[in-house]
Each structure stands twice: as structure tokens, then as C-alpha cells.
Chains A and B, each alone.
Chain A
Amino acid sequence: MKPIFERGPSLPIRLFFAVLCSVGLMTLDRFTDSSTQLRSYLTATVSPLYYLANLPQAMMSDASEQFMSHQRLLEQNQKLRETLLRQNTQMQRLQFLQQENDKLRSLLGSVPVAESKRLVAEVLAVYSHPFSNQIVLNKGSNDGVVAQQPLIDDLGVLGQIVSVGPTSSRALLISDTTHAISMRVERNGDHVVAEGLGQSDEVRLMHIPHSADIQQGDKLITSGLDGIFPEGYPVAEVVRITRNAQQPFLQVYARPYAQLDRIRYVLLVWPKAKPEIDEQIAPPDAEAAAVAGDF
């Protein structure tokens, strides 16, 4: 049954308004700064849908845990205990090294690397469309998550938070086409910047001159220069270098250490508080000047 009198405006007019609205939205989202806030509200509104979409997977993993045999549980427990023991021993050594490092750094007059707060979050939704490599996490502003917060896992750097809702947040992965990360080659300390290509297993290093000392297998770690990622975390390994003299720069590709297409749990890292740094910079200033004068 077709209603004759309640048809409203004609199709082209409706289309015109829809086009107008979407073009407005695109400009707002892409070319203004207010979009982060807006996105955060919107993410919060639709977060029940993420929980709903995650339900089958959550139930599956619950079920597989339920039906896991007693024997296997014991084995797993044993293995985990061993790993924990091994890592705790390494931790003791690490604490000692950390103290030593702090002392040496204060002698040199640079800022000691502060321990920062961490939080484990679970991935609610992965969207690895070629046009946007993002994940949604189950922690939000209620847990203290803030925008631009770095995200790591046990293998390497994953990405950074871009919008935050009360119970969920959205993170941009380093493989996204709109993401770039500042890094340093571990072997010689050269600074490089990697941009995402939309593929989970490859990033491209930008603007590497032909004369640069870079080799296949070089380990790339965060440089801390971008002010977002803390220094020293592994990011990627150089896998492919194409030397073509006709190109202005070397074509260098690297594979991220983290497996970006199968993330389940992530670690949120809080950046150090600013005032703390200022405090620590102030006292060793005189010493630093003295050291510099010795040269």
C-alpha cells in the first residue's frame, strides 16, 4: 500500500541534503580539531554495539576455557610459572641496571627515564580495512585513558589512542595510512620516520637519503622525539631496501614486530607527567655545564 500524500520532499532534494550533510561532516572531521571530542562522544554512544559484536568470540573463548582438560591446565600453569620465575630473575637484574642507568644519566645531566603507569586492555573490535587500521579497546576515560596515549604489547609498539569514551576507546595502529612514528636505528642511532601503508605487515620509512647507512635486518626502536611514544620500545625490522637512483629517496620497508592483525590484549602506557621532568632537569644543570666545559 503506497501512501499518496505523505511522501515528503522528492528524492533529488533529499539526496541534496544528504550530500550537503556528509560533505559538512567530512570537512568537520578531517580539517578541524573539534572532531576528536565529537568522535569520543560518538564512540561512547555506539559502544554497546561493540560489546554485542564481541559476544560470539567472547563466548567461544569462554567455552574453550571451560572444556580445557585438567591435564592441559596443569601443563599451562607449570609453563606460566616457569616463565614468571625466569622473568622475575631478569627483573631483579633490570632494577639494578635501571638504578645504574639513572645514576649515569644524572651524571651526564640528562633526565632519568621514569617508570610509567600501565594498564592491560582487551580488544573489542578490530577494523583492519585497508583504509583504516584501527582497534577498539574495552578501557575508556573511566580508567584514565587519554587521547594520544601509546599502546604496546609484548612484541612491540602497536599504535596510539585517538578517541576516548567512558568505557571504550579507539586506537590508531602504526600501519594506518594516517599514522607516522619517529624511530631510531638501533645499530647506529640514525633517526627515521615510518608511515603506515594500510597493510598490517609493512610500514615505509620516509625520506631516507641514498647515502644513509641502513641495512636489511636493522632493528628500529622508538626515538621518543615525537613526544608521544616513550623511548626505546621495539617497533619494526627493516625487511626490504630498493635502491633506485632515479628516485629521490631510498625505498625502505620494515615489518612491525607486533602482529597487528591478531591483537587480543594490549598494554596502555601513560606518559610521564610534565612537572616531574622539569623538577629532575633543574638540579643537574650545573653539573651538566661542568661536564660540557671539560671537553
Chain B
Amino acid sequence: MSAEDTPKDYSESPINLEYFYTAGSATTRFLNQVKEGNIVGQGCPKCKAVYVPPRGSCPRCGVATDIEVPLTDKGCIESFTVVHIPIPGNPIVPPYVCAMIRLDGANISFLHLIQDVDIENIRIGMRIQAVWKPKEEWTHSLENIKWFAPIDEPDVDVATLRFQES
């Protein structure tokens, strides 16, 4: 059947799932600090690994991460991808860059945007810092950080970021 004589090729078929999200105690502690513009990771009392964002326990040791570890908003790009395909409902116009951000002192990374730089200049190991929204817009969300932007510091060899058991 050709495209011309196909009466109706597509139908909109939206799917909506409405949740009520309850943050656990670890995420609540973390987001209460994010609301104040602070990034506070949580450390494992056994292996000393620092998790940000924290999920409350150390997957390596199976114990609660009850040590609060204040971090700065600086770090490096651990990996990144250039997004070319628009996602319906997403206000960001492609191409844009999503990166795994490894904050200084953290042992895991999280996903955020990289802006204020030509895409072709973005590289793994590049030093970056958070660009925050105006303080009056801060909520309990990492969206308080608009994106991360490069800073004038030497690149990091990401191989050195691998976790070393102390």
C-alpha cells in the first residue's frame, strides 16, 4: 500500500504516568542542601567512597552512607554526548551536550548539561563549574544548576579518577 492510499498512517498515542514521589532520607538531606545552593555528598564509613547524588547506602560495602561530605560545584567531564535529535516537550534546542559530571572529591558522576562553549571544544577531562540560577528560583532540585560551563584550569586525566580502595 502506498503512502497516498493509506487512509491514516499514524495516530497520537500519548502515555501519562502520574506518580507521587517520596524522597528517601538520604535524598531529602541532599535536596535540602541543594535548596540552599550547597552540594553535599554522602560518604561510606567503610571504604570512604563519596556519592553525589547520594542514595543512602554504599553499593560496594552495603552500609549506610551517614557521613556528610560538603563538595564544591567544580569538577570535570567524565564522558559526554552531543544530542542532535529533538525530544518532544523538551525546551532545549539541539544540538546540545549532556555530560557525566564528576565533582571534585566525588567517586560517582551525575548527568547534567554543558553550555557556554563551542561543542567541538568539549572533551573528556575538561574542568567545569556549575552555573546557578538566581537564588530566588532555587528549589529542591539539581535544576537549580542551569548547566556546567568550562573554567580555565588544566584538564584532568580521567583514568586517575578511578576509585582506589584505601
Q: Do A and B bind each other?
A: no
Which residues of B approach A to under 8 Å, CB–CB?
A: none
Which residues of A approach B to under 8 Å, CB–CB?
A: none
